[in-house]
Structure 1
Amino acid sequence: MAAYDTDNIFAKILRGEIPSQRVYEDEAVIAFMDVMPQGPGHTLVVPKAPSRNLLDADPSIFGPLFTVVQKVALAVKKAFGADGVTILQFNEPASGQTVYHLHVHVIPRFDGIPLKPHTGGMEKPEVLAESAEKIRAALAAR
Protein backbone atom coordinates (compact mmCIF):
# COMPACT_ATOMS: atom_id res chain seq x y z
CA MET A 1 0.00 0.00 0.00
CA ALA A 2 1.23 3.49 -0.83
CA ALA A 3 2.35 5.89 1.88
CA TYR A 4 0.07 8.63 3.16
CA ASP A 5 0.54 11.86 1.20
CA THR A 6 0.58 14.83 3.58
CA ASP A 7 -0.20 17.14 0.64
CA ASN A 8 -3.56 15.57 -0.26
CA ILE A 9 -6.42 18.05 -0.46
CA PHE A 10 -8.06 16.92 2.79
CA ALA A 11 -4.78 17.24 4.71
CA LYS A 12 -4.54 20.79 3.35
CA ILE A 13 -8.13 21.48 4.46
CA LEU A 14 -7.32 20.10 7.93
CA ARG A 15 -4.32 22.46 8.16
CA GLY A 16 -6.43 25.41 6.99
CA GLU A 17 -4.44 25.85 3.78
CA ILE A 18 -7.54 25.38 1.62
CA PRO A 19 -10.88 26.88 2.65
CA SER A 20 -13.89 24.69 3.33
CA GLN A 21 -17.45 25.08 4.52
CA ARG A 22 -17.13 23.25 7.83
CA VAL A 23 -20.27 22.06 9.54
CA TYR A 24 -18.74 20.20 12.50
CA GLU A 25 -15.39 19.87 14.24
CA ASP A 26 -14.10 18.22 17.39
CA GLU A 27 -10.68 16.98 18.51
CA ALA A 28 -10.78 13.93 16.22
CA VAL A 29 -13.06 14.68 13.25
CA ILE A 30 -14.21 17.43 10.91
CA ALA A 31 -17.17 17.54 8.55
CA PHE A 32 -17.44 19.89 5.59
CA MET A 33 -19.38 20.37 2.38
CA ASP A 34 -18.28 18.44 -0.70
CA VAL A 35 -17.39 21.01 -3.39
CA MET A 36 -18.64 18.64 -6.11
CA PRO A 37 -21.85 17.47 -4.45
CA GLN A 38 -23.86 14.58 -5.81
CA GLY A 39 -26.94 16.20 -4.28
CA PRO A 40 -27.92 19.07 -1.97
CA GLY A 41 -26.27 18.75 1.43
CA HIS A 42 -23.52 16.29 0.37
CA THR A 43 -21.14 16.38 3.32
CA LEU A 44 -17.76 14.75 3.94
CA VAL A 45 -16.76 13.45 7.37
CA VAL A 46 -12.99 13.20 7.81
CA PRO A 47 -10.85 12.00 10.71
CA LYS A 48 -7.98 14.30 11.64
CA ALA A 49 -5.62 11.33 12.01
CA PRO A 50 -3.70 10.69 8.79
CA SER A 51 -4.62 7.53 6.92
CA ARG A 52 -5.11 6.85 3.21
CA ASN A 53 -8.35 4.97 3.78
CA LEU A 54 -10.14 2.47 5.99
CA LEU A 55 -7.64 -0.27 5.11
CA ASP A 56 -4.65 1.40 6.76
CA ALA A 57 -6.40 3.46 9.47
CA ASP A 58 -5.77 2.93 13.16
CA PRO A 59 -8.96 1.17 14.33
CA SER A 60 -9.17 3.53 17.32
CA ILE A 61 -10.40 6.33 15.02
CA PHE A 62 -13.48 4.42 13.83
CA GLY A 63 -15.56 5.07 16.96
CA PRO A 64 -15.17 8.86 16.88
CA LEU A 65 -15.45 8.94 13.07
CA PHE A 66 -18.68 6.97 12.82
CA THR A 67 -20.21 8.74 15.83
CA VAL A 68 -19.87 11.96 13.81
CA VAL A 69 -21.07 10.25 10.62
CA GLN A 70 -24.30 9.40 12.44
CA LYS A 71 -24.65 12.95 13.85
CA VAL A 72 -24.12 14.46 10.42
CA ALA A 73 -26.48 11.96 8.76
CA LEU A 74 -29.27 12.87 11.17
CA ALA A 75 -28.58 16.59 10.67
CA VAL A 76 -28.53 16.50 6.85
CA LYS A 77 -31.72 14.44 6.77
CA LYS A 78 -33.43 17.01 8.97
CA ALA A 79 -31.86 20.09 7.35
CA PHE A 80 -32.90 19.11 3.83
CA GLY A 81 -36.14 17.25 4.61
CA ALA A 82 -34.61 14.16 2.99
CA ASP A 83 -36.35 10.82 2.64
CA GLY A 84 -33.14 8.96 3.47
CA VAL A 85 -29.36 9.24 3.61
CA THR A 86 -26.67 7.46 1.60
CA ILE A 87 -23.36 6.78 3.34
CA LEU A 88 -20.41 5.99 1.04
CA GLN A 89 -16.77 5.18 1.75
CA PHE A 90 -14.23 4.14 -0.92
CA ASN A 91 -10.88 2.34 -0.58
CA GLU A 92 -8.22 2.36 -3.33
CA PRO A 93 -8.61 3.28 -7.01
CA ALA A 94 -10.59 0.18 -8.01
CA SER A 95 -13.36 1.28 -5.62
CA GLY A 96 -13.48 4.84 -6.92
CA GLN A 97 -11.36 6.51 -4.24
CA THR A 98 -9.81 9.71 -5.62
CA VAL A 99 -8.67 11.53 -2.46
CA TYR A 100 -6.29 9.48 -0.36
CA HIS A 101 -7.32 10.55 3.12
CA LEU A 102 -9.98 8.45 4.82
CA HIS A 103 -13.38 10.10 4.42
CA VAL A 104 -17.06 9.23 4.48
CA HIS A 105 -19.66 10.74 2.17
CA VAL A 106 -23.02 11.62 3.75
CA ILE A 107 -25.63 12.44 1.10
CA PRO A 108 -29.28 13.31 1.76
CA ARG A 109 -31.56 11.36 -0.60
CA PHE A 110 -34.96 12.05 -2.03
CA ASP A 111 -37.38 9.49 -3.47
CA GLY A 112 -37.13 9.34 -7.25
CA ILE A 113 -34.14 11.70 -7.55
CA PRO A 114 -30.85 10.06 -8.63
CA LEU A 115 -27.43 11.21 -7.48
CA LYS A 116 -25.50 13.51 -9.78
CA PRO A 117 -22.07 12.29 -10.98
CA HIS A 118 -19.27 13.17 -8.57
CA THR A 119 -17.07 14.24 -11.45
CA GLY A 120 -19.22 17.25 -12.26
CA GLY A 121 -18.35 20.88 -11.77
CA MET A 122 -17.78 22.62 -8.49
CA GLU A 123 -20.80 24.05 -6.68
CA LYS A 124 -21.11 27.81 -6.22
CA PRO A 125 -19.56 28.93 -2.90
CA GLU A 126 -22.77 30.68 -1.82
CA VAL A 127 -24.76 27.46 -2.30
CA LEU A 128 -22.23 25.52 -0.20
CA ALA A 129 -22.35 28.22 2.49
CA GLU A 130 -26.17 28.09 2.58
CA SER A 131 -26.14 24.29 2.83
CA ALA A 132 -23.52 24.38 5.57
CA GLU A 133 -25.61 26.84 7.59
CA LYS A 134 -28.67 24.57 7.34
CA ILE A 135 -26.63 21.62 8.63
CA ARG A 136 -25.02 23.61 11.44
CA ALA A 137 -28.49 24.76 12.52
CA ALA A 138 -29.77 21.18 12.51
CA LEU A 139 -26.75 20.05 14.54
CA ALA A 140 -27.27 22.85 17.06
CA ALA A 141 -30.96 21.92 17.46
CA ARG A 142 -30.12 18.35 18.49
Structure 2
Amino acid sequence: MASIFSKIVKGEIPSYKIAETESCYAFLDIFPLTEGHTLVIPKMEVDNLFDLPDSIYSELWSLAKRIAPAIQKAYPCIKVGVAVVGLEVPHAHIHLMPINSIQDINFARPKLQLTPEILKASQEKICKFL
Protein backbone atom coordinates (compact mmCIF):
# COMPACT_ATOMS: atom_id res chain seq x y z
CA MET A 1 0.00 0.00 0.00
CA ALA A 2 1.25 3.49 -0.89
CA SER A 3 2.32 5.70 1.99
CA ILE A 4 0.65 9.04 2.56
CA PHE A 5 3.84 10.64 1.18
CA SER A 6 3.56 8.66 -2.08
CA LYS A 7 -0.02 9.90 -2.39
CA ILE A 8 1.24 13.47 -1.89
CA VAL A 9 3.88 13.02 -4.62
CA LYS A 10 1.22 11.67 -7.00
CA GLY A 11 -1.06 14.64 -6.23
CA GLU A 12 -3.75 12.42 -4.69
CA ILE A 13 -3.41 14.39 -1.44
CA PRO A 14 -2.74 18.15 -1.59
CA SER A 15 0.44 19.60 -0.11
CA TYR A 16 2.18 22.90 0.37
CA LYS A 17 5.07 22.27 -2.04
CA ILE A 18 8.36 23.96 -1.30
CA ALA A 19 10.57 22.43 -4.02
CA GLU A 20 10.89 19.44 -6.30
CA THR A 21 13.57 17.64 -8.29
CA GLU A 22 13.33 14.66 -10.59
CA SER A 23 13.57 12.21 -7.68
CA CYS A 24 12.68 14.25 -4.57
CA TYR A 25 9.87 16.41 -3.24
CA ALA A 26 9.76 18.91 -0.35
CA PHE A 27 6.62 20.19 1.34
CA LEU A 28 5.43 21.69 4.60
CA ASP A 29 4.60 19.37 7.46
CA ILE A 30 0.91 20.06 8.16
CA PHE A 31 1.42 19.06 11.82
CA PRO A 32 4.68 20.94 12.44
CA LEU A 33 6.79 21.41 15.53
CA THR A 34 7.59 24.97 14.37
CA GLU A 35 6.28 27.18 11.61
CA GLY A 36 8.31 26.47 8.48
CA HIS A 37 8.80 22.77 9.36
CA THR A 38 9.51 21.16 6.00
CA LEU A 39 9.74 17.52 4.94
CA VAL A 40 12.11 16.44 2.18
CA ILE A 41 11.31 13.02 0.72
CA PRO A 42 12.36 10.78 -2.12
CA LYS A 43 9.62 10.17 -4.66
CA MET A 44 10.63 6.50 -4.56
CA GLU A 45 8.74 4.71 -1.82
CA VAL A 46 11.47 3.45 0.51
CA ASP A 47 10.97 3.16 4.27
CA ASN A 48 14.59 3.34 5.43
CA LEU A 49 16.66 6.34 4.36
CA PHE A 50 19.78 4.20 4.11
CA ASP A 51 18.11 1.82 1.65
CA LEU A 52 17.91 4.55 -1.00
CA PRO A 53 20.16 4.24 -4.05
CA ASP A 54 23.21 6.48 -3.59
CA SER A 55 22.16 8.88 -6.35
CA ILE A 56 18.74 9.54 -4.79
CA TYR A 57 20.21 9.72 -1.26
CA SER A 58 22.62 12.41 -2.49
CA GLU A 59 19.86 14.27 -4.33
CA LEU A 60 17.69 14.23 -1.19
CA TRP A 61 20.40 15.82 0.94
CA SER A 62 21.29 18.26 -1.82
CA LEU A 63 17.67 19.44 -1.94
CA ALA A 64 17.58 19.74 1.86
CA LYS A 65 20.78 21.81 1.72
CA ARG A 66 19.18 24.16 -0.84
CA ILE A 67 15.99 24.58 1.22
CA ALA A 68 17.60 25.13 4.66
CA PRO A 69 18.91 28.67 3.92
CA ALA A 70 15.49 29.66 2.58
CA ILE A 71 13.87 28.46 5.81
CA GLN A 72 16.42 30.41 7.86
CA LYS A 73 15.75 33.59 5.88
CA ALA A 74 11.98 33.14 6.09
CA TYR A 75 12.08 32.34 9.83
CA PRO A 76 15.11 34.00 11.42
CA CYS A 77 16.46 31.44 13.84
CA ILE A 78 19.70 30.23 15.39
CA LYS A 79 19.79 27.08 13.22
CA VAL A 80 17.75 25.03 10.84
CA GLY A 81 17.43 21.75 12.72
CA VAL A 82 17.65 18.48 10.84
CA ALA A 83 16.11 15.22 12.00
CA VAL A 84 15.66 11.81 10.48
CA VAL A 85 13.31 9.83 12.67
CA GLY A 86 11.38 7.62 10.31
CA LEU A 87 8.83 6.23 12.74
CA GLU A 88 5.77 8.33 11.89
CA VAL A 89 5.40 7.47 8.19
CA PRO A 90 6.95 4.41 6.52
CA HIS A 91 8.63 6.51 3.83
CA ALA A 92 12.15 7.95 4.14
CA HIS A 93 12.12 11.65 4.98
CA ILE A 94 14.20 14.48 6.39
CA HIS A 95 12.72 17.06 8.77
CA LEU A 96 14.01 20.64 8.39
CA MET A 97 12.80 23.17 10.95
CA PRO A 98 13.79 26.58 12.25
CA ILE A 99 15.00 26.23 15.82
CA ASN A 100 16.14 28.54 18.59
CA SER A 101 16.43 25.92 21.33
CA ILE A 102 16.71 22.16 21.63
CA GLN A 103 13.06 22.06 22.70
CA ASP A 104 12.00 23.29 19.25
CA ILE A 105 13.06 19.94 17.79
CA ASN A 106 11.57 17.76 20.55
CA PHE A 107 9.16 15.38 18.82
CA ALA A 108 7.44 14.61 22.13
CA ARG A 109 6.03 18.16 22.15
CA PRO A 110 2.49 18.73 20.90
CA LYS A 111 2.34 19.60 17.22
CA LEU A 112 1.12 23.02 16.09
CA GLN A 113 -2.39 23.27 14.66
CA LEU A 114 -1.97 25.75 11.81
CA THR A 115 -4.72 26.98 9.53
CA PRO A 116 -4.50 26.50 5.76
CA GLU A 117 -3.97 30.26 5.50
CA ILE A 118 -0.91 30.14 7.79
CA LEU A 119 0.48 27.12 5.93
CA LYS A 120 0.03 28.87 2.57
CA ALA A 121 1.76 31.97 3.95
CA SER A 122 4.64 29.77 5.22
CA GLN A 123 4.95 28.14 1.81
CA GLU A 124 5.13 31.53 0.09
CA LYS A 125 7.55 32.89 2.67
CA ILE A 126 10.05 30.02 2.20
CA CYS A 127 9.66 29.79 -1.59
CA LYS A 128 10.42 33.50 -1.87
CA PHE A 129 14.00 32.74 -0.75
CA LEU A 130 14.64 29.73 -2.99
Question: Fold conserved (TM > 0.5)?
Answer: yes
Aligned equivalent of 1:136: 127
Q: Hey, what's the Cα distance between the residues in 1 that align with 2:31 and 2:114? A: 6
Provide structure 1 residue ranges, at least 5 long, that are not aligned to the other structure: 92-96
CA pair 55-63 structure 1, distance change in 2 beyond 3 A: closer
Worse-superposed segment, 46-55 or 15-24? 46-55
Q: Hey, what's the Cα distance between the residues in 2 that align with 1:135 and 1:66? A: 18
Tell me the amino acid that sits aligned with residue 7 of structure 2: K
Identity %: 36
Tell me the amino acid that sits aligned with residue 54 of structure 2: P
C-alpha deviations, 1:17-63, integer Å up to 9, x for none? Answer: 00000010121111100001100100000111221121322222111
C-alpha deviations, 1:82-114, integer Å up to 9, x for none? Answer: 2111100124xxxxx110111100001125863
Give the SS at the match of 1:36.
coil
Q: Which has the larger radius of gyration?
A: 1
Name segments (4+ residues, structure 1) moved above 6 Å.
Answer: none
1:1-142 paired onto structure 2 within 5 Å? 5-6=1-2, 8-91=3-86, 97-111=87-101, 114-115=104-105, 117=108, 120=111, 122-139=113-130
Give the SS at the match of 2:98.
strand
Provide structure 2 residue ranges, at least 5 long, that are not aligned to the other structure: none
CA-based RMSD: 1.9
Q: Hey, what's the Cα distance between the residues in 2 that align with 1:15 and 1:36? A: 20
Q: Report how many residues are paired.
A: 129
Question: TM-score, normalised on structure 1?
Answer: 0.82
Question: TM-score, normalised on structure 2?
Answer: 0.89
